Amino acid sequence: MSSFPITTSDSSSSAHFSIPLSGGHHWCGRINKHHVLTLKSLAANANASLYVVNADEKLERFNMPDSLKAQHTLYLSKGHVLYSDMGRVLASIISDDHGWNDAICGPSNAAMISSQYGKKTFQDARNDRYQNGLDGLLTEMSKFALNTSDLTATLNLFSKVTPDVQGQLSYVTADNTDQSVSLRFEMNCLVFICNAPHPLDPSDVYDPADIELTVQAAAPMVPKTEFDVCRDSCEQNQRGFENNARYFGDYANV
């Protein structure tokens, strides 16, 4: 469950990286501005708990409430962005085959996993142990001197959760084999991913799907006179990108 660093400092590079992330495993890495991370589910029952922070100022982190409130949505999908707690855009979802990524349930924890699937520890099974989303994320975050106090709400890619009229949440089971989600990074970020079951997944077998991670250079951002699927999906996102432009001193795009 080691970390595979995938980063390049040259935004014009055509460098392309692909690595597997097996079910129950976790990963972290720095992904620079102007790069795209694509996660592809290789089987059914995928769920990737994802957390993002500003690599150059680790106090700036993904803010779930602001991301949902600013974009008037319960979930995140193509056209949405991941806001930080500074009102800036960390990353944009430029494509999404699944169409719904849960942003409210958070990662699974050890009690949830042991209650539903039983226990299989590292001492018992080595890398085939039953890992939970929270511990997997914290393991990766510790490599950058981050801990529980630095972790806020996460994003569960490939997972759909819907409420009923009483507000009770239900996990929507679906075959997400070969589905992909692509995030374009709008600033240099530390990215933490744990491939573990969603906390509401009703399955009685611990079998999270393997996922493939790919990083490559992003296409240049279109000028403000042209439409961008994330920047121009709502007025608030336009203001978020203006905040990014001020942060980077790119006043031509303010």
**Residue 2 pLDDT:** 40
In single-letter form, the type of residue at position 131 comes to Q
Residue pointed to by tokens 């409420």: 163
Distance, CA of 254 to CA of 239 (rounded, Å): 9
Q: What is the average pLDDT value for the chain, to the nearest integer? A: 92
Distance, CA of 235 to CA of 176 (rounded, Å): 32
Q: How confident is the model over 22-52, as pLDDT tens digits?
A: 999 999 999 999 999 999 999 998 999 999 9
Looking at the predicted structure, is the pLDDT value of residue 6 above 50? Answer: no
Which residues have CB under 8 Å from 61's CB, separation 6+? 51, 52, 53, 54, 84, 85, 150, 152
Distance, CA of 219 to CA of 15 (rounded, Å): 13
Cβ proximity of 150 and 61 under 8 Å: yes
Distance, CA of 174 to CA of 166 (rounded, Å): 23
Task: Give CA separation, 26 vs 47, 135, 136, 170, in Å.
Answer: 12, 9, 6, 25
Looking at the predicted structure, is the pLDDT value of residue 13 above 80? Answer: no
**Residue 14 pLDDT:** 55
**Residue 124 pLDDT:** 81
Alpha helices in 53-210 (DSSP H): 64-71, 110-117, 122-125, 133-141
Can you read off the two tokens belonging to residue 215? 């990083």
